[in-house]
């Protein structure tokens, strides 16, 4: 099975979590993703109106390989949200909505391109792979509450899923 990543700002990400457009000076219509923008001589700033995740979180920094990649295993966090955002280059995130099963299924996996200046927050229980660079390896940050119990990586049922990035994103 093969899927192509879609731009997270142009897609419905609601089954998996919420999206913050930190590049826009326009306020979000959704109070859950509202940002506040200010600027002055030589600078502009945008921040989330509410805390990014619902608990105290640790900050992580990960290096992911380039697209295309195979999603063969995924993890989920039942007791914490997880925020993901780029360091400098766009990243691709493969996800599947929360399920009652102890594994994600290949047919439920979707992939999204997250550009610099955009943050996503995964709902508790959302299945996800590590992020990967669009056209080269890429670093990204994550924020989640660590130490709330093991979140084992499990095989994707009927997987793996080959994830590709759109040609426009590849340059």
Q: What is the pLDDT of residues 8-52, one digit of tens each?
A: 999 999 999 999 999 877 767 788 898 988 899 999 999 999 999
| Integer Cα distance of 77 and 83 in angstroms | 12
Q: What is the pLDDT of residues 113-152, one digit of tens each?
A: 999 999 999 999 999 999 999 999 999 999 999 887 667 9
Question: What burial class does residue 108 get, using C-beta atoms within 10 Å of its C-beta: 0-12 exposed, 13-18 middle, 19+ buried?
Answer: middle
pLDDT reported for residue 151: 77
Please confirm whether the linkage preceding 68 is cis (ω < 30° from 0): yes
Q: Tell me the pLDDT band of 170, cut-offs 50, 70 and 90.
A: very low
């Amino acid at each position: 099975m093969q899927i192509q990543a879609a731009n997270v700002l142009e897609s419905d990400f609601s089954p998996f979590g919420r999206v913050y457009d930190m590049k826009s000076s326009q306020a979000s219509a959704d109070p859950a993703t509202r940002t506040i923008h200010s600027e002055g001589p030589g600078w502009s700033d945008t921040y989330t109106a509410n805390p990014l995740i619902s608990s105290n979180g640790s900050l992580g920094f990960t290096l992911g390989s380039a697209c295309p990649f195979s999603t063969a295993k995924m993890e989920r966090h039942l007791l914490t949200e997880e925020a993901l955002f780029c360091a400098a280059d766009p990243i691709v995130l493969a996800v599947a909505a929360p399920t009652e099963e102890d594994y994600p299924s290949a047919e439920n996996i979707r992939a999204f391109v997250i550009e610099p200046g955009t943050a996503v927050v995964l709902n508790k229980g959302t299945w996800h792979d590590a992020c990967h660079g669009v056209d080269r390896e890429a670093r990204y940050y994550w924020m989640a509450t660590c130490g709330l119990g093991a979140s084992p990586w499990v095989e994707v049922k009927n997987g793996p899923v080959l994830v590709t990035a759109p040609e426009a994103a590849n340059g």
